[in-house]
Chains A and B, each alone.
Chain A
Amino acid sequence: MATDIQISIVGSAGDGTIAAGEILRGALAGMGYKVISFDVYPPEIRGFGKCIARMRITTEQAYSLKHKSDVLVSLDDSHAIPHADEVRECGAVIYERGSIVQLPEGGHMSAHIGPGQLPYPVPIRELSEKSTGANRSRNIVVLGFLAGLLKLPAEAFQKAIAKKFKRKAAAAEAGEAAFRAGQDFAAQTFKLDDVLFGPPVSTVVAGATVEMISGNAAIVRGALDAGIDTFFGYPITPATSIMERLATEMPKRGGRLLQTEDEIAAISAVVGAGFAGARAATSTSGPGLSLMAEMLGMGVIGEVPSVVFVSQRGGPSTGMPTKTEQSDLHMAVYGGHGDAPRIVIAPTNVDGCYRCGGKAFEMAEAYQTPVIVLIDLYLSNRYETVVFPSRPPFEADTNRKPGKLAAGAQYKRFALTADHISPRAIPGEKGNMHVVTGLEHNELGRPNDSAEMHEAMSRKRHEKLKAALRHPDFTHFKRFGDEGPVDVGVISWGSTFGECLEAMIKARGEGIRCAAMKVVMLSPFPTHGVTAFMTDCKQVLVPELNYQGQFANLLQANVARPVTRLNRVSGEPMKVEDILDEIRRLAGRKAAQKAA
């Protein structure tokens, strides 16, 4: 039996909602299921904001969340009640049985459970207090109950709980007790629902490893596998966990990580370290990227390899730090003053995060340029099960081209060559001393603002990036769905592509000829491939999470064809239903036109 179960845990900040989600998906992945999950949390650490840990557990990896959940767990009714109708028929609703405050009519979850859904009242608070003496372990009680109700093996949970609370013996012990209390209560509860887990299917090929991992963690793993040397960063939601993970992992491999005083300092240090030959990176979000704009220009003109991982959030300004959005595309591709071309790649799933996270370093070195890996909060915090190959698919040291020169000739750091890529020397190399400057310069790197030189150097800096469109072992774009001419083509980027793919598959199921394309490389733009795809499509739909249609703008700047835009800025992932409706509409409009 194939498994396809979606569980949502909804609570208030401080209820441990997200932590419960982490443990649950850790346990499930440990059992061998494929998981995709995405959490929603408020900007305050505590207070009263809504938190949702939502995950879909499948036999084969899925790339988007379902519209309906099979199980809803409420740790705070005031937040969970609006989500009651997201539970499917015969799905389970697990909620706190009692209340310590007087409730108005409708203030309790039981008032909102539809006749087709199955109620599971649990004395969550009481079980927590009974088993641990405090009410803090309510989230773990709920996990115990889930495990008991869905007949999942306790060991996987115990392992995940122990992992979560390692170094905190008392908390781990309380966790154990709370878990057992929940499980015991489930044993006394009569199970009614038909939420059933099939056996997990192992798809691991020899040598490969399977892990349930978030987008940010995948980026980190990619960077580590590509041999990152130095990292400078400044905490910012939702990119912080990239830095946090690297802080743990890099020293283990002799790498160096420094928390700088701000993002300006961080990008500056990255450019410095890149100049010095290190594989260097920073991570940030929109506000930090804005601060970095000037120094990125320096990286472009200085032709310094550098990598910036950007996880977008709702903007502008401080905006919506804990909500997802894809509105930094303009900033990433065009941001900053002057003609400052750079490579921008945007993975569409967690596996892609791993690949882009590593390939970014290859590209930065190969084309001597800043590379921005553009993801968003949804992808950063989304968990998927990823199969990692036994050997990292990244080149260790790419095209540094030192000492390519004939003896006696003067070293030209910015030599104009046929492929527009100059020999790069790094400090410490004998005889190749040079200066990298933010001023326009000649081949030697000496300031020069002549018309000819600025034109030649501008051309060099733009043209050399074209080679990146043929960068080996890298998916620049990819087409899915029906081959040949189609009625509707969906083209999208980044985290939204998972929803586009699912909508496209559903549309095909409804008999609509349909295809989808993901574009990973945003700058330079793969005009050829995208044009070919769009020629096949009678209608082109571009769904993305921003108001302006930033990707559609980019598309239309490169391919002169009308497209239909589908924009959402709700701060949450796009709904598959919305895309599907639009596909249906476009397919129908075409039919209507034909009839006319």
Chain B
Amino acid sequence: MGEIKPPSGEPGAPAAAQREYLSDDPRDIGWVRQNVPCQTACPAGTNVPVYIREIIERQYGRSYETNREANVLPGVLGRICSRPCESQCRHGWAGNGEPVAICHLKRVASDLKDAGHRITERLYSPTGKRVAIVGAGPAGVSAAHDLSLLGHDVVIFEREERPGGMLRYGIPEFRLPRGTLDIEMHNALRLGVQMRTGAEIGNGAGQIPMSRLEAEFDAVLLATGCMAASPLPLQGEWEKRDLRGLEGVEYGLDFLVQMHRGVKKTVGRRVAVVGAGFTALDCARVAARLGAQEVTIHIRTAEEYIPVTQEEIFEAKREGVRIKGLRTPVGLTAEGNRLTGIEFVQNRLGGWRNSGRRQAIPIEGSEFHEPCDTIIIAIGQQTVNDFLGTKLELDRWGNVRVGVDGMTSHKGLFAAGDYVNGASTVVQAVGHGRLVAKRIDAWLMGRERRKQVVRIVPVEKPLRERAFDFIPRQHMPTAQLAERMKDGKHEVELGLDEKLAFEEAKRCYLCNLRYEIDVDRCIFCRACIEVAPRNCIKLVRGVEINEDGAYGKLLETKEWNQVGAIWIDNNECIRCGQCYTACPVQCISISRCELTEVEI
């Protein structure tokens, strides 16, 4: 590593005339990790600044392909992603304003790409290895796609009639139109992946036993997700009672799945949703569409701590959904077989759980009752393991335990997505699917075939203007309330049009641009500091180095005889380019640094 290489000819690689430098130095990898917070935060490792830059250049197709390199479902995730990137976005850091609408822009790439857009794939020669994947949800499909590109024969076994998993059966259409889902599923799988729907794995009649898969395939990947709704833990007389028989009780996930299988669902006048995730919110909004007069989400902690985006909460509230906090249901009230209300206990907030969620501690003697006609229980989902013929090691949450190589305790049997991680997000499933596909490939081939490096490409000039920093975050246009309620399927978010998208894309700081001062040529004149819009260029005497070999804090000084260098603090830098223009001796250079993979 470390030599200047000719272009590799990979998709998205620079034009032939450009030079690039590939580095596996931990300081450079650390630089990208620290400096491109969106990409670091993305479980799939999406190269966000590059795809946004391509939107500015109005190369929507290319932007879509940049997305597809990390995630085969850009149109889907552009709508329903939980956006871990946005909470990390530099534009949202203290004093910088609001984060860039990364997710909405992803959707832009998908929405605005050419009608005859041609997708690009990097194909490896066939290996002759066969892989079976159980479950055509986001993790399974992502893994299938990557494995088939790597030259393996892949067969997916899916219980439902159509692929998509939670995407198709768990997420309402007003958030994810099925047309988009169908196209992207098809694109992901059409490179020779065999899709066997309606094929359930198990030991029952008409089911395919695990042992057969293990015998016929070189590797098996379990990606069945968490498709069992968690039961509501109640107390007293309700502790042991099976709620399923009670009229007015629904389990959120089942409620949604049944609806998407085509079962007609109804709710009462007053609907209480118990739970705090996307599913709870989806159920509440579906209930509002089904004609409920009062929809209330009851949460154990407080709005601040629930893992849903603010936009989603706001839209739900606009649709009339209310959220009430600090309460845990402890029992129900019923007249005969008919639900009439819920007994709650008042909570106080407790400590933090390892998952980063807040604990709620019930207060003794604070029980109270609220009447309702329907309760939708959406407090979580669990994995189902009973189809396994073999006994796999589980962790203490009941999820299957896997090693760093992605393999379960059973040789040749891998697992990915929610099935491993418990109920999480789609993007996590996609990211994990990819990761495990790589592990499976390494196991099948007996070695790692690709590794991560930093590609450094010189950039001629700053690509941004200071004026871009003052553009406010563009709001997602949404459908009128009346429209939304007409049929429950009308998509709420309408997508950014080209003009809004351009404005929004310009906001991106392009964090992958690395501004560097050539200390040998610097004359220490501070012209750059003078024009800097933030406290981003510093007089330094040293730099801390983190454990992983990446740079830590810059050690500043105001004493001239200590100033070893004038250095750009990339943590503060907003890539405005003012310093580059101001430097009288042109000692500031710009390069684009991005994580990429190369063949080993």
Contact = CB atoms under 8 A, between A and B. Distances in A.
Q: When A and B assemble into the complex, do they touch directly, with CB atoms less than 8 Å apart?
A: yes
Interface of A: 14, 98, 100-102, 125-126, 129-130, 133-135
B467 interface: yes
Interface stretch (B16-24, B215-223, B528-536): B528-536
Interface string B304-326: 00000000000000000000000
A134 B470 CA distance: 12
Given A101-B535, A129-B469, A134-B578, 11 more contacts: A14-B530, A98-B95, A100-B533, A100-B534, A100-B535, A129-B466, A133-B466, A133-B467, A134-B466, A134-B531, A135-B533
A130 B534 contact: no
Given A100-B533, A100-B535, A126-B470, A133 B465 contact: yes
A134 B527 CA distance: 13
Contacts of B95: 98
B86 to A, nearest CB: 23
Contacts of B532: 100
A101 B535 CA distance: 5
A133 B531 CA distance: 10
A102 B95 CA distance: 11
Contacts of A126: 470
Nearest to B534: A100
B535 A130 contact: no
Contacts of B531: 134-135
Nearest to A126: B470
A129 B534 CA distance: 12
Interface string B498-536: 000000000000000000000000000000001111110
A130 B533 CA distance: 11
Contacts of B534: 100
Contacts of B467: 130, 133
Q: Of B465, B467, B534, which is in contact with the most chain A CB atoms at under 10 Å from its CB?
A: B467
A169 to B, nearest CB: 20
B535 A129 contact: no
Nearest to B526: A46
A130 B578 contact: no
The interface size bin for chain B is 10 to 19
Contacts of A130: 467, 470
A19 to B, nearest CB: 17
Contacts of A14: 530
A130 B467 CA distance: 6
A135 B469 CA distance: 14
A99 to B, nearest CB: 9
Contacts of B470: 126, 129-130
Contacts of B530: 14
Contacts of B466: 129, 133-134
A301 to B, nearest CB: 52
A76 to B, nearest CB: 13
A contact face: mostly helix, strand, loop, or mixed:
loop
Contacts, number: 24
Nearest to A98: B95
Contacts of B469: 129
Contacts of A125: 533
B581 to A, nearest CB: 10
Contacts of A100: 532-535
Interface in B542-593: 578
Interface in B466-494: 466-467, 469-470
Contacts of B465: 133
Interface in B403-444: none
Contacts of A135: 531, 533
A101 B556 CA distance: 13
B525 to A, nearest CB: 11
| Nearest 9 CB-CB pairings of A with B | A101-B535, A100-B535, A100-B534, A130-B470, A133-B466, A129-B466, A133-B467, A129-B533, A135-B533
Contacts of A134: 466, 531, 578
B332 to A, nearest CB: 53
A248 B578 CA distance: 36
A139 to B, nearest CB: 15
Contacts of A129: 466, 469-470, 533
A101 B572 CA distance: 10
17 contacts: A14-B530, A100-B533, A100-B534, A100-B535, A101-B535, A102-B535, A126-B470, A129-B466, A129-B470, A130-B467, A130-B470, A133-B466, A133-B467, A134-B466, A134-B531, A134-B578, A135-B531
A129 B465 CA distance: 11
A102 B531 CA distance: 18
A135 B535 CA distance: 13
A122 B532 CA distance: 19
Nearest to B95: A98
Nearest to A129: B466
A128 to B, nearest CB: 10
Nearest to A14: B530
Q: Of A14, A125, A126, A135, which is in contact with the most chain B CB atoms at under 10 Å from its CB?
A: A135
A535 B226 CA distance: 108
A511 B476 CA distance: 74
A390 B467 CA distance: 51
A102 B530 CA distance: 17
Nearest to A130: B470
A444 B530 CA distance: 66
A102 B467 CA distance: 24
A592 B344 CA distance: 87
A134 B578 CA distance: 8
Interface string B441-470: 000000000000000000000000111011
A57 B469 CA distance: 39
Q: Of A98, A102, A130, which is in contact with the most chain B CB atoms at under 10 Å from its CB?
A: A130
A98 B535 CA distance: 12
Nearest to B582: A134
Contacts of B578: 134
Nearest to A46: B530
B540 to A, nearest CB: 15
Nearest to B578: A134
A376 to B, nearest CB: 33
Contacts of B535: 100-102
A405 to B, nearest CB: 67
Q: Of A125, A129, A130, which is in contact with the most chain B CB atoms at under 10 Å from its CB?
A: A129
A204 to B, nearest CB: 44
A121 to B, nearest CB: 15
B280 to A, nearest CB: 39
B206 to A, nearest CB: 67
B272 to A, nearest CB: 44
Interface in B196-250: none
A98 B94 CA distance: 12
A102 to B, nearest CB: 7
A542 B465 CA distance: 60
B119 to A, nearest CB: 40
A125 B535 CA distance: 13
B563 to A, nearest CB: 16
B180 to A, nearest CB: 38
Contacts of A98: 95
A14 to B, nearest CB: 8
A98 B96 CA distance: 11
A511 B535 CA distance: 57
A126 B533 CA distance: 9
A126 B95 CA distance: 11
A125 B467 CA distance: 13
A129 B466 CA distance: 7
Nearest to B530: A14
B422 to A, nearest CB: 40
B353 to A, nearest CB: 33
A330 B530 CA distance: 44
A134 B535 CA distance: 15
A135 to B, nearest CB: 7
B113 to A, nearest CB: 33
A126 B469 CA distance: 10
Nearest to B536: A100
